[in-house]
Amino acid sequence: MDFNGSGGGNELHNNQFYPFEESKPLLGEMSAPQPEGNNNHKAGPCSKRSLLHSSSGMRYKLLQEGDIQVCVVKHPRTFLSKILTSKFLRRWEPHHLTLTDSSLLSATPTGYMEAPLSYSTIEDLQLLSWDNAPKYCVQLSFPGGTVLLQAANSYLRDQWFHSIQWKKKIYKYRKVLNNPSRWDVVLKEIRALVDMALTSPLQDESIHQAPLHIISTLLAENTNLSAQDHENIIVAIAPLLENNHPPPDLCEFFCKHCRERPRSMVVIEVFTPVVQRILKHNMDFGKCPRLRLFTQEYILALNELNAGMEVVKKFIHSMHGPTGQCPHPRVLPNLVAVCLAAIYSCYEEFINSRDNSPSLKEIRNGCQQQSERKPPMPLRLLRPEPPTPPLTTTLSPPPALPLSPPPSIVNSSEILVELERNNNNTANTLRKAPAEGDSEPNLIDCLLVSPALNALSIQLPAHADRVLGCFALILKMLSDYDDWRPALASLLQPIPFPKEALAHAKFTKELKYVIQRFAEDPRQEVHSCLLSVRSGKDGWFQLYSPGGVACDDDGELFASMVHILMGSCYKTKKFLLSLAENKLGPCMLLALRGNQTMVEILCLMLEYNIIENKDTQLQIISTLESTQVGLRMYEQLCDRQRELKELQRKGGPTRLTLPSKSTDADLARLLSSGSFGNLENLSLAFTNVTSACAEQLIKLPSLKQLNLWSTQFGDAGLRLLSEHLACLQVLNLCETPVTDAGLLSLSSMKSLCSLNMNSTKLTADTYEDLKAKLPNLKEVDVRYTEAW
């Protein structure tokens, strides 16, 4: 049916039509709902109910489609048409209507809804209700007739009414703002659009997003607006942004305003609540990267104010809140994401030119293959001629590597790599070139001081330097909050920065404060993030160790990291092996200077027989004896070793049971009283021993059966046992406070054949993991656990 035709004629009361007016009812037989309890009230004409009256505080979801009854009444022109359109001959058709952006469309385009009903043809909407029948209708007036939509109840009728009304008005504003002529009129229309969205009884995300998309399209198509027009539009749409993220095009507009007018009051008064909402509620910047870019530009605009970073500090504090715990879990991940992206952008030119610069393998090999490469960008290698070494018959040892190498310069427009060589023979002796086809070297290895490339530093443009300083300082601020530090350490593991940033001395110097905060935190979930996430991939510990490109001191940070890691790292022996293989020289140097942590490390290496080379052992002993603290600790080590030899001397009992209520001190006193080299079965059941007694248990070389039933032996003790008692066959942990964290370490005890974990905090996943990794395990008790 054509809804665009014209009509005429009138109908009198009771089936007679009047010329349509907004204030007059169309159908005489319709009347307004009667007041409850008034039975004497005569039936009158149907009246239109206002929006506020019809909503009466109700809220509705915006309809996009639905099933409804449809009836179309044409304005009669002849006597016959009056008869055919009377209420007795009206016909209702069921339709599934869809509310598109421009029209009402039926899924079955037949009958009344053969053609779509455009919003532009709808002249008015009314809510109608019959007096004596429960028919809830919406009246849509169009030229030449009326469309009646009948719903099942009053709520659905009102929902259809408000949804069609909303679609109609949005369609009108979209057309009006599509081709603006006068901006003063446009501004009034924008304000009216915002007021309509704020007062609508519809509750839907699109109610506020649709006006924002209309305005963002308007701004994208009109880029020649004045700064004052910008601010007027931003102020006008500010109420919509209180509970909604700006769309991407609007984010671009906001970014432009932050860059061009960072000192505008709009940045503080309007953008601040918008950015706060983004940081509190955004779940993934990957889905809308322009939200992240807008947040980044907003923070840079704050940094341009007179107070500079003080304003940024106050903003970060406002995001955290005054209490010790931030109530919004998404703030920290979002702030870190913004910082990482901003820092990455500072080195983007260098990263983009990475394909045209010497590869990591060539840098490591001293660019020996450079003659075979033809980079499209200009590349200049400065190689000062090394002094001719004196001819000798013996090969002199290679010189020690400097801890703080002289910087070199790399520019994005012309890559300039400075190479400093001592001599070719020495370089080949210290580091052999990898074979053809080897994989790319480790990230940190490429940045370590080497004869081929002592250092690689980068000069940034002035703007990029300011951006780097701003967001590096924000990372430092974040690390100052105790509740944020564990999550921050996790977010920065593995190292998320490009190698160009790690080669930049200013950046690593700024980030050193963050790493120091991690190293000072006693919580294991914080300082354990200093280590690499997996074998073969270096972490912050390697980067800031002596020899790493970020190490700018004499090893103080390295010593503090080793101290905190040794205090909680359950892989003590493995950690010592790693230090002996890669950092023995720096450890000895710091011990020679009296660093107590490094003295303890060297003593542990000797005690656990980490060092096999006799000459290296003698050098470590000489280093320890060169300082008072080292000499004292070495003498204590010798005493312990003599006691250990006496303890492990063959002889003594093969079975031993401690009385109940015995303590760690009682066990230590007993084991120091004689020889226990033959002890195979030890029962500490129902005693008061804790994980601290593991230091004594690992000294028993023949121990095969250990009963810890109903003790306070925990995860820390299990980790130590798993590292030193590889021959243990029977272990009873019934009713001990061990958890998955300690039980998982038992997977390295391949000799275990009987394991009792009754009444512990064992989970099903850990139990399956242990069964898979312990091939000799035959007897297992997991009663009263999750795995039971």
266-324 tens-digit pLDDT: 999 999 999 999 999 999 898 889 999 999 999 999 999 988 889 999 999 999 999 98
Task: Check residue 483 and give its pLDDT.
Answer: 95
Task: Check residue 438 and give its pLDDT.
Answer: 42
Comparing CA positions, the residue from 329, 679, 213 lying closest to residue 667 is: 679
Chain segment 195-239, per-residue pLDDT in tens = 999 999 998 888 888 999 999 888 888 878 888 888 888 999 999
CB < 8 Å & 24+ apart, contacts of 612-620: 616/584, 619/588, 620/588
Q: What sections of 130-182 are H helices per DSSP?
A: 154-176
Q: Residue 414: phi, psi to the nearest 5?
A: -140, 110
Chain segment 440-480, per-residue pLDDT in tens = 444 444 444 333 333 445 788 999 999 999 999 999 999 99
Most confident of 75-89, 390-404, 545-559: 545-559
**What b/e string do you get for 47-80 counting C-beta neighbours within 10 Å, with b at 16 or more?**
bbbeeeebbeeeebebbeebebebebbbbbeeee
Q: Where does the pLDDT of residue 2 fall: very low under 50, low under 70, confident under 90, or very high at 90 and above?
A: low
Task: Check residue 405 and give its pLDDT.
Answer: 38
Whole-number percent of the chain with pLDDT over 70: 77
Task: Check residue 1 and give its pLDDT.
Answer: 58
Residue predicted with more confidence, 677 or 754: 754
Report yes or no: 208 and 243 within 8 Å, Cβ to Cβ. yes
Structure tokens at 624: 């320890």
Q: What sections of 326-448 are H helices per DSSP?
A: 331-346, 348-352, 360-364, 424-430, 443-447
Q: What is the mean pLDDT of residues 84-108?
A: 82
| Cis upstream peptide for 494 (omega within 30°) | yes
Burial class (CB in 10 A: 0-12, 13-18, 19+), 338: buried
Task: Check residue 341 and give its pLDDT.
Answer: 95
Chain segment 414-448, per-residue pLDDT in tens = 333 332 333 333 333 333 333 434 444 444 444 44
Whole-number percent of the chain with pLDDT over 90: 41
Residue 375 has pLDDT above 50, yes or no: no
Chain segment 503-516, per-residue pLDDT in tens = 898 999 999 999 99
Task: Check residue 30 and give its pLDDT.
Answer: 33
> Tokens 């063959």 correspond to what residue?
650
Residue predicted with more confidence, 572 or 442: 572
Q: What SS3 string covers 395-417? A: CCCCCCCCCCCCCCEECCCCEEE
Least confident span in 22-31, 196-205, 213-222, 527-536: 22-31
Q: What is the mean pLDDT of residues 125-139?
A: 77
Task: Check residue 326 and give its pLDDT.
Answer: 94
User: From residue 758, how far is each of 81, 288, 728, 733, 762 by CA, in Å?
Assistant: 90, 50, 19, 7, 9
Chain segment 591-639, per-residue pLDDT in tens = 998 889 899 999 989 988 888 888 899 999 999 999 999 999 999 999 8
Q: Where does the pLDDT of residue 571 fall: very low under 50, low under 70, confident under 90, or very high at 90 and above?
A: low
> How many of the other CB atoms lie within 10 Å of CB of 625?
12
Least confident span in 135-139, 428-432, 526-530, 769-773: 428-432
Taking the whole predicted model, whether its pTM rises above 0.85 is answered as no
Structure tokens at 363: 């840098």
Instruction: Output the average pLDDT for the chain.
Output: 78
User: From residue 35, how far is each of 1, 31, 40, 43, 128 by CA, in Å?
Assistant: 38, 12, 10, 11, 15
Task: Check residue 292 and give its pLDDT.
Answer: 95
Q: What is the mean pLDDT of residues 556-579?
A: 82
Q: What is the mean pLDDT of residues 331-339?
A: 96
Task: Check residue 222 and give its pLDDT.
Answer: 81
Residue length, the chain?
A: 788
Number of H helices, E strands in the chain: 33, 17
Q: What sections of 200-330 are H helices per DSSP?
A: 205-221, 227-241, 248-260, 265-266, 272-281, 289-303, 309-320
Chain segment 657-678, per-residue pLDDT in tens = 999 889 999 998 888 877 788 8
**Cβ neighbours of residue 225 under 8 Å, at least 6 residues apart?**
183, 219, 233
